[in-house]
Structure 1
Amino acid sequence: MRRMNHYSPPKINRKTYAWSVRAFSTVKRLLGVNIKLHADNNQVQQGHIFLFNHFARFETFIPQYLIYQEQKAYCRSVAASEFFQGDDRFTNYLHAVGAVPNDMPNLLSFLARDILCGKKIIIFPEGGMIKDRRTMSSSGDFSVFSPTSEERRKHHSGASRLALVLDIYKRVVLEAHNNDDMHSLKLWAEELGIANVETLIARCQEPTRIVPSNITFYPIRISDNFLKDSVERFTGDLPRKFSEELLIEGNLVLKHTDMDIRMGKAIESTLMWPWWDQLILKKAIEGMSGLNDLFAMGSQADSFLERIAAQRLRNKTEELRDQVMQDMYSLVTLNLSHLASALILKLIDDGVDELTQSTFLHILYLAARYISHEEGVYLHRSLLNAETYRDLRDGSCAEIQQFFKSAQAADLIAIENNSLSFLPKLKDEHDFHDIRMENPICVYANECTPITGVERAIERAMDNHLNIPGKQWAQYFYEDELHSFEQSRQQFTHEDYSEINAQQTATKDAAPFYLSPNGDKEHKVGVLLVHGFLASPAEMRGLGEELADEGYSVYGARLEGHGTSPCDLRERSWHEWMSSLELGYEVLSSRCKEVVVVGFSTGGALALRFAAERPNKLAGICAVSTPLKFANPNLVFVPLIHHANRLAKWLAAQEGVLPYIINESEHPDINYKHIPVRALHELRQLVDEMENNLQRINCPTRLIQGDAEKVVKPESAGLIRDQMVGTTPEVIMVPATRHGIITEDIGATRKHIIDFVDKIDAK
C-alpha cells in the first residue's frame, strides 16, 4: 500500500470542548431530563464507533458529553451539512467540538484516521430524526421513513463500511510490521499524526469495535408548554413541523423525563471476514494508495479480482449494518407506556374497541410480570419497580394515570366510569411530523415492535387473565410485596443512610409473610396481620404461625417505611401505611371468601380506619393495644417539632432541629432504635383520622388492651368502643404492664384473637 493522500482535517479545540462539557453539565442540572447511562461491559472504553438512534434534536449533544464524562475521550460526530452553512462562527464552533458535515469529502477515511489517533466516532445511522419510531417495514426488515424523499429506505451503511475498511487497513499495517517494513510504518505513522510506530501497531492490533446504542425517552408528553407559547407570541404561528418539535421536545427537556441511554455489546468487524474473503482482499488491495483508495474500492475497478472484492465488501457492509441495527433496536428501555400502547393496538387488531378499565389493567399487570421473564429485554424503572406496577391492579399507578391522561388529551381513548374505549383516531394515518403529537400510542408501539418478547408477553396475558385462579393471583401479589420490600431495603443501604443504619439493632426477618393453611382443612376466612409503629411483620409472625396451624390463610403485611431503615420511614405518610394494609387485604381477598384484619397498636388504628370504608369481604376487626390516648405526654409537642424540622430543612437544607428521637424499645430485635419525628406526626394524624371515622364501622370488632401498659393509655379501648355506634365491640382487658402483648403472648392474647377469628369463621 502506497503513501496515503494528504488532507487537512478540522481540529478539535480541547479548551472549547472542555468548556462545552462544563456548560452542558450546568444546563443539565436546570433541565427536567434525567439522563441515565447503562454501559456495564466497558463499552465506552473499548468502543470506537458508537451508533445511536435519533428521536429528538437535543439528544445529538448527549453521547459526546457522556463519553467524555466516562473516559475523558474526545469524539467526532457526523452532523447534517446544513448546520455548517452560513455563520462561520457557528461552523468553527462545531468543528471545535468535533462535529463534521455528512457531505465532507473523503469523510470515511477522515474518520478512520481519527479512530487510529484514539478518538471515538458518533454516528446516527438513521440519517435524521425518526419521529414515528417506525423502524420495521411490513415485511419485517429494518427501514426508516425519509421525509426528504418521502419514502422508506434502508439505514445508512457508512459506519459499517468505516469499520470494515479500517480493518483492511489495519491488516496492511500489521503485514508490513510482520515484514519489518519500517519505512512504510514510519511514513504511515507520520501521516496519521501518531507519535511513533509502536502506537500505530498497538492501534492496528485492536479489532475495530462498533457499539450499538439506544436512547429511550419516558414519558412522551403532548401538553402545551411555555416554550412553544413564547415562540409563537414573538414569531406568530409556526409551521406545523416546528410547532410540533417545540411542543414535544420542549416537554422532553423542560419536564421530568427519563432519558435512558443503553450501550450494547461491542461488535468486532474483524469477525465478519472468513478466510477466503481475506485472501481475495489481500490480493485486490495491492497497489492501492492509502485510506482514500481503500474506501473508494470498486468505484472504478480495473480488475476482475477487485470487482469481486468490492462486491464482497458491499455484502459484508450490508450484513454488518443489519446486525448493528438489530442490536441497536433491541436495546430499547421498555417502559409501562410501551406495554400499554402495544396492548391497545393488539386489542384493536383483534376487533376489541371497548372493554372495562379493570380488565385492561389486569391484562397489563400480567404483561408487566411476564415481560420480566423474557430474555434479552431491558426494563425501565416503571417495570422494574414493584411499587409502580403492582398498583396497576386498582388503577392507582401514577404512570398509567399519566398515560391515560395523555391519550385522552390526544383523543385516542375515552374513559367513562369503568369503561375504556379506543377511539377511531387510533387507526388513522398521520403525517410523519404530526404523529408524535397526534398519536403517541403509535409511537410507543412502533418503538417496541422489534422486541419480540413484548408480543409474547401481551398474548400470554390476554390468554391467561380470565383463567388464573385466586390462589395464583394471591401468590403474584405476595411476590410483588417481597420484591418491593427487597428494593426498598437495597435503596436504603446507600452510604447516605449509613450513620443511622449502623445504630439499628433489629435482626428479625422484616419481610412480609404469606402462610398457607397447615393440614387438610382450610377455612373460608383469611387473616390479615398488621404490625405496629417502628416494627415489622416479624412482630406478628408467631401469631400467624398459630393461625396457619388452625387452618387459616394468613398474610403479614409490611407497612411502608418499616423493616428497612428509619430514613425510609421518615419519608412515608400514614396514607402509604394504609396502602400496605390494602395490598395485603387484596392478597387474601383473591384467595378467601372473607377476611378478618388483626392490627396491633398502629396496625390497629389502620385496621379500624380501613373498616370505616366498609370494604367488600371484610368480616371483622380485632384491634389490639390501639392508641387513642398516649401515655407519653411529650407527644403533644410532636406537631410543633415536626414543623420546626420542616422550616429548618427549608432554610438551611439540613436535617432539621430534631429529626429523630431515640426509641427505648421492648423488642430491639424487631423495632427501629430511632423514631423519625415526621413519622410520629403521621401517627398522630392517623389516630385523629381513625377517631373521626369510628362511628362508620359496622363489622364485628374485638378490642384487646393491656390494663397497665406504659405506651397506650389503657382507657383507650373503652373510649374507642364508646364511639363505635355502628356496631357493638367486645373489649377484653388483659393483665399486662407491657405494650407488646401479641409478641410476648401476655394474658393469652393470641388465644383471644384466634377465638374471635373462629367465631367469625363459624358464622
Structure 2
Amino acid sequence: MSSLLYSSSHYLIKMLESILDTNIHIHGEEHLLHDSPTLFVANHFTRFETFVMPYIIYSHSNMEVRSLADHSIFVGYFGTFLNKVGTLSTEHESRNEIILGDLMTGRKNWMIYPEGAMVKNKKIVKNGGFTLDFLDGRDSVHTGAAVLAMQAELIKHEYKRAQQAGDILKVRKMREKYFMGANERLSYRNTVVVPVNITYTPIRSGINPLMSLGDKFVKIIDERIKEELEIEGNILLNSEIHIRFDEPIDMSEYLYHAKKEMKNQNEKSTKISDNELISYCRHDLTTVFMDAVYKNILINFDHIFALVIEYYQEDFIGLHELKRAIFLAARDVEGLKIFHVHHSITDELYKLLTDEQDPWFQSVLNLSVEQGILIHVEDELYKINKSAYKNEHHFHTIRIKNTLRVILNEVSLFCNIGQSVKDNLSKSSAEIKDEVFHVIYNRDKKLYKQDYNTFYSVILSKPKDVGSPFVLYKPEYSTGVVLSHGYKSSPSEIKELAQYLHERGMNVYGVRLKGHGTLSEDLRDTNWEQWYDSFNRGFAAMRQVSKKLFLVGFSTGGLLAILATARKLNKIDGLVVINAALELQDIRVNYVVPTLNKLNDFLSLFNADLEYVESEPEFPLFNYKRNYIKSLDQLRLLMQECKNELSLVTTPTLIIQGKSDPVVKPQSAQKILEQISSKIKRIENFETDRHVIVLGEGKESVFESVNIFIKENLK
C-alpha cells in the first residue's frame, strides 16, 4: 500500500466527513505513541469501522493503520479498493505473517476487532472473560489479537538472537516469512496494544439517503444489507462518533511480569518457552485490554433513559417522573467518577426539568414510542410495554426493531450504574422531588462560587452573600415563586420581596442571573441566553416542590419571566412583572448600541474603542457602576426576543409600573398588557420617580400587590 494512496484515501474520507457532516470526537490522543508499533483493539458495532477507523487515526496522528475485514466484502470495486488501501481479508493465507511483519518492523500499525464480528445487539457478559451473544449462540472474545501482540515482541527477540548467533539461514527465513524488505530493520521500540472504545450517540433507525444510494448501485439488496444501510447510514449522517484511546500496554513489560509470575508459581521450572508464555497469557491479556475497551464507553442520555425504563417497577410512568429519575441517575453516574460522561448528562441536565422541549429526551422518547416500548395513554402518562422491551428479535434486526434494547445492553456490563438507577427508583416520589430541588439549588450556588472566585477583586468585589442565589423554603408550603433581579444587579435586590412573600406562605427561589453579583467584567462576557438559563435553573428547582408556581421578575428579570412563561409547555399559575424593561428611557440601548458596536469594530483597527460607560447606580451595594456596551447589546437582544413572544403568554398576569420610572418607559406596561394573550391581566401603576421600587420608600405597597395577586390566583 503506497503512502500516496493512503493519503489520498485519507482525504477522501475527510471529504466524506464534510459532506455527511459526521461529528467525530477524538479523546485520549496523548496515549498514541507515534514511534511505537501499535496494535489497536476496539469494539465492533458497524461495518464501516473496518475501513474508516484507520483513516480517522491517521488524520489525527499521522500513524498509518491497516485493518482486517470479513472476507465476504472483498467483492467488486469495493473489494479492489480495500485491497489497494491495505485492508486484509480475514481469510488471507498469510494474514498473521503480514501483521507480524508490520508490527516487528514498525512499518505499519494494525487495528483488530477481538469480538470477531459486529456485535449488533451489544450483548456482552463478563464471567472471568467476556462472552458475546451472536446469531448462532454465545462465543468468547477472540484471543488472536493478544497472541499476535505477544508474538510480535517475542519473535523480534528470536530474530535478534539469531542475528547475534550468526545464524544467517534462520535470519533469511524469518525475513522471508514475515515479508521484510531487503533494507528493513526491526523497530527499536516495543510493541504496544492500545485499547479503543467507539461510542455512537444517538443510535437511530429510519430512512436515510445512503439507503437510496444503495438501491441505485445494487438491484437486489437482502434484508441484512438493508438493515446495515439503515442503521449505519443514520450513524454516519446524524450521530456523534466518539473514539477514545486508552493507555498503551507495553508488550515487553507485560511479558516480563507474566514470565516472572509463572516462575513464582512453578519453582521447578527453569525455562519457559514462548508458546507456554503465550498460552498462559492469551486469555488474561485479552481480558485486560477488552476491559479497558468497554470501560471507556461514553455514557450518554440514551443509556440513562434505557436503564430507567428497564428498572422501573410499575407498568405506567409519567413524563415528569421519568425525567426526575433520569436527572438523579445521571447525577449519580457522573458522581461515580469512573466513567466518561457525555455532555447530555452533565450539569446542564436541569434543562430537562424546565417544561420546555429537550432534544435529547424528545428524540429517545419518540424512538421508544415508534418501536412500541412506550405506549401513550393520556396527557403525559405512558404504559411501559415490558415484553416488547425485552424482545431481542433477530441478531440482524434488533438494531432497527428494538434500538433501545441495544443501547441498554451496552451499559448492562456495569452493575454500579444499574444499581444507581435502582436505588433512585426505590425512593418515594416526594423524596425524589425534594432531592432534585436541592441538587439544582446546590449546583446553582456552586456555579456562583466559581464565578465569584474567578472574578474576585480585593478592591471591587462585594461581600459574597450579596450575589449568591438564595432559597426561602419550608416543606409544608406548596406555593412556589421564582423571583429574578434586574440588569447589573444581584439577588440581594429582591431579597426583601422574597422574605415578604415567604412570611405569607410561599417558597421563593431568588435567581442569580449569570454574570451578575460578581464584577461587571463577568457580565461583559455573558449573553442573554445565559441569563435565561439562570432563570430556568430556579424554575426547574421550584417546579419540583410546588403545586402552584408563579414567575416574578423585576426590570430585566421581568423580561425573563415573560419569556419563560411564553415558552413553557405546562401551565404557569401566574406572572408578575415589575417595571419590566421592554423599552428604556435611554435611547442608547435601542439606537446607539448597535452603532457603537460597529464603531468599535472600526476603532479596534486603531487599538481604540468605547468599551463601557460608568454611572452611579441607585443602590451601589447591589449594582455595578460599569456598564459594558456588549452587555447593553445583550439587553437589547433580550428586549427584542421578549417582544417577539409576548403573544404566547396566556397565564394570569400582573403588570406593575412606576409612573415616572427614570429607566423604563412607562408605556412598556401598556404594550405588555395589549400584546399578551392572557384573559386575566391588569396594570397597577405606582406614583414614584424611582426605578428600583422593590427597595426603599413605598416597597411595601408593591410587595402587597404581588401578594394579593398570587393569593387571588391560588383559588
Task: Classify the TM-score, shorter chain.
Answer: 0.7 to 0.9
Instruction: Give the whole-Å Cα distance in 2 for the aligned partners of 1:403 and 1:545.
Output: 43
What is the 5 A alignment of 1:121-136? 121-136=110-125
* Deviation of the 1:561 alpha carbon: 9.2
Q: Is the 8 A contact 1:363 1:465 kept in 2?
A: no
Larger displacement relative to structure 2 (245-254 or 59-68) = 59-68
Structure 1 residue 624: Cα displacement: 3.1
Q: Which residue of 2 aligns with 1:261?
A: 243
Give 2:491's aligned amino acid.
M
Q: SS state of the match for residue 225, structure 2?
A: helix
Aligned mates of 1:539, 1:19 — CA distance in 2: 58
Q: 2:4 aligned with 1:22, yes or no? A: no
In the alignment, which of 656, 659, 675 is matched to residue 703 of structure 1? 656
Judged with a 3 Å threshold, the aligned counterparts in structure 2 of structure 1 residues 487 and 42 are, in CA distance, closer, same or farther, namely farther
Decide whether the 8 Å contact of 1:512 with 1:555 is kept in 2: no
The CA deviation string for residues 118-137 of structure 1, in whole angstroms up to 9 with x for no partner, is 23211111222221111227
Paired residues for 1:585-604 under 5 Å:
585-591=539-545, 597-604=551-558
Partner of 2:326: 364
User: How much does 1:110 deviate?
Assistant: 2.8
> After the TM superposition, which residues 101-180 of structure 1 pair with which residues of structure 2 at under 5 Å, given as runs?
101-118=89-106, 119-136=108-125, 142-147=130-135, 150-172=136-158
Partner residue of 1:391 out of 334, 348, 352: 352
1:567-578 mapped onto 2 (5 Å cutoff): 569=527, 572=529
Partner of 2:469: 514
Q: CA deviation at 1:82?
A: 3.7
State yes or no: 1:99 paired with 2:87: yes
Amino acid at match of 2:652: I
Question: Residue 68 of structure 1 aligns to which amino acid in structure 2?
Answer: Y
Q: 8 Å contact 1:539–1:670 — kept in the other structure?
A: no
Instruction: Say whether the 8 Å CA contact 1:48–1:211 is kept in structure 2.
Output: yes
- Pairing partner for 2:39 from 25, 45, 49: 49
- Aligned equivalents of 2:341 and 2:30: distance in 1? 18
> Is 1:683 the equivalent of 2:639?
yes
Other structure's SS at 1:142 match: strand
Question: How well do the aligned residues superpose, as a CA RMSD in angstroms?
Answer: 4.8
Greater CA drift, 164-173 or 555-564: 555-564
More moved, 336-345 vs 185-194: 185-194
How many residue pairs match? The answer is 668
Does the C-alpha gap of structure 1 residues 102 and 376 become closer, same or farther in structure 2, counting only changes over 3 Å?
same
Counterpart of 1:544, as a letter, is K
Question: TM-score, normalised to structure 2's length?
Answer: 0.78
Q: Mapping of 1:65-84 within 5 angstroms?
A: 65-84=55-74
Alignment check: 8 A CA contact 1:595 1:620 kept:
no
CA shift, 1:523, in A, is: 8.0
Instruction: Tell me how far 1:435 sits from its aligned partner.
Output: 0.8
- Could you say what secondary structure the match of 1:211 adopts? strand
- Equivalent residues in 2 for 1:345-744, closer than 5 Å: 345-347=310-312, 350=313, 352-384=314-346, 386-388=347-349, 390-392=351-353, 394=355, 396-416=357-377, 417-423=379-385, 424-464=387-427, 466=429, 468=431, 471-479=434-442, 481=444, 513-517=468-472, 528-532=482-486, 535=488, 538-544=489-495, 547=498, 554-558=508-512, 569=527, 572=529, 580-591=534-545, 597-607=551-561, 621=576, 623-632=577-586, 671-675=627-631, 680-687=636-643, 689-690=645-646, 697=652, 701=654, 703-705=656-658, 707=660, 709=662, 711-714=663-666, 716-717=668-669, 726=680, 730-736=684-690, 739=691
Describe the shift of the 1:380–1:611 C-alpha distance in structure 2 as closer, same or farther (beyond 3 A): closer
Structure 1 residues 253 and 133: alpha-carbon distance in aligned structure 2, compared to 1, 3 A threshold: same
Partner-residue secondary structure (3-state), 2:338: coil
Between the aligned partners of 1:279 and 1:445, the Cα distance in structure 2 is: 38
CA–CA distance in 2 between the matches of 1:549 and 1:427?
54
User: Matched residues in 2 for 1:689 and 1:186: separation?
Assistant: 82
Contact 1:142 1:154 in 2 (8 A): yes
Q: CA deviation at 1:376?
A: 2.1
Say if 1:550 and 1:234 are closer, same or farther in 2 by CA, change over 3 A.
closer
CA contact (8 A) 2:392 2:405 kept: no
Q: Which moved more, 1:327-336 or 1:724-733?
A: 724-733
- Cα distance change, pair 140–397 in 1 and its aligned pair in 2 (3 A): farther
From 748, 751, 758, the equivalent of 2:697 is 748
SS of alignment partner, residue 420 of structure 1:
strand
CA distance in 2, matches of 1:483, 1:55: 39
CA contact (8 A) 1:601 1:624 kept: yes
Sort the Cα spacing of 1:588 and 1:358 in 2 relative to 1 into closer, same or farther, 3 A: closer
Q: Which residue of 2 aligns with 1:335?
A: 300
* Alpha carbons 1:353, 1:421 under 8 Å: kept: yes
Q: Cα distance, 1:114 vs. partner?
A: 1.4
Shift of 1:54: 1.4
SS of 1:674's partner is helix
8 Å CA contact 2:584, 2:664 repeated in 1? yes
| Native 8 Å contact 2:490 2:512 kept in 1 | no
Pairwise CA distance, 1:252: 1.5
